[in-house]
Amino acid sequence: MKTLYLLRRPVVDLETSIFLPSETEGDVVLLETGGSSTFLHSKGTVFSLFQGTTHKSLSYDGMIEQIFTHDHVIVV
């Protein structure tokens, strides 16, 4: 089962009970720029909709494709 996490809020604003990057498996799409340059996640790929970050850039069309290639999508 593949899970995709769409993070609408900056990573620093997430409560640890909702999402623990070190313990959660699946790919992550960062939809906000705040805190995205320091986000570490070893159990999947981290994508960003914004260029200039240390993560893989992803277009809007690419994000839609990711949604349909994963079994579960969680929006936080």
Cα-Cα-Cα-Cα dihedral sign, residues 74, 48, 10, 39: positive
pLDDT in tens, the chain (76 residues): 888 989 887 776 766 555 555 556 788 888 876 545 566 667 788 888 876 666 788 889 999 999 999 998 988 8
Q: In what order do the strands lie in the sheet with 3-7?
A: 56-57, 46-48, 27-30, 3-7, 72-75
Cα-Cα-Cα-Cα dihedral sign, residues 10, 61, 44, 1: positive
Q: How many CB atoms lie under 10 A from the CB of residue 42?
A: 8
The boundaries of the domain holding residue 20 are 3-75
Q: How many domains does the chain have?
A: 1
> Which pLDDT score, from 0 to 100, does residue 69 have?
93
